[in-house]
Amino acid sequence: MNVGENLSRIKKEISESIKLVAVSKTKPDEMVMDAYHAGHRRFGENKVQDLIARQPNLPQNIHWHFIGHLQTNKVKYLAPFVSMIESVDRLKVLKEINKQAAKVDRVIPCLLQFHIAEEETKFGLDMAEAKALLESEAYANMKNIRLEGVMGMATFTEDEERIRREFKLLRNIFRELKVTYFAEEEAFNEISMGMSGDYKIAIEEGSTMVRIGSLIFGEREYH
């Protein structure tokens, strides 16, 4: 497994304007450092415990994206350093991010995670919930978060048409939110979709940010 070579192969395939989040979950710090030495700076983790255990031991100029389900009582551990929280799936967690970010005098970039998969098991908002969040007084008063776009995960399936349909749905959600709520805000630009198995389809459907783990670091032992 040559992490540097894997990274450069993927980077050659995708346009420079697409952000690559290297998902290092379950992989040793040494592999993160291999990617770091190859010039990579943007990494993703999906468990708060794992991220806060490794972050102090790794270079401080790494941009950490949190991509997993987030419990409100753990937000405080991420607030001092996290570069982006991609998995905001309810108002309550956004409120807590805003509160903890204020304590450390930061503005934390966030994405709204949408439930786009036809399977039931994935987390995320639907359009009605997102609208309620964006129209709430609580959201209007938040000064320490900045919504920069949307995130979603397609169904884990071989059925490419189904994956494509789910990514199209996320792109349409993004467009509708952009014109309705963020027309004046330049920062609302990201569509985070695409993983090792489906990033090519995601890019064809308008992804601006892909989150890739196993193609860079090898298969994981567990999920």
Ligand X SMILES: *Cc1c(COP(=O)(O)O)cnc(C)c1O
Interface ranges with ligand X (CB under 6 A): 23, 25, 46, 67-68, 153, 195-197, 211-215
Type of residue at 119? E
Which residue is it, tokens 């979950």? 25
Instruction: Give the Cα separation of 132 and 42 in Å (integer).
Output: 31
Beta bridge partners of 113: 151
For residues 43-64, one letter each, b for 16 or more C-beta atoms within 10 angstroms of the residue's C-beta and e for the rest, the string is: bbbbbbeebbebbeeeeeebeb
Cβ 128 to ligand X shortest distance, Å: 23
Instruction: Give the Cα separation of 94 and 81 in Å (integer).
Output: 16
Cβ 183 to ligand X shortest distance, Å: 28
Q: Which is nearer to ligand X, 23 or 79 (CB)?
A: 23
Q: Which is nearer to ligand X, 3 or 142 (CB)?
A: 3
Instruction: Give the Cα separation of 50 and 77 in Å (integer).
Output: 11
Cβ 197 to ligand X shortest distance, Å: 6
Q: Which is nearer to ligand X, 108 or 142 (CB)?
A: 108
Cβ 213 to ligand X shortest distance, Å: 3
Cβ 166 to ligand X shortest distance, Å: 14
Instruction: Give the Cα separation of 125 and 116 in Å (integer).
Output: 9
Instruction: Give the Cα separation of 84 and 145 in Å (integer).
Output: 10
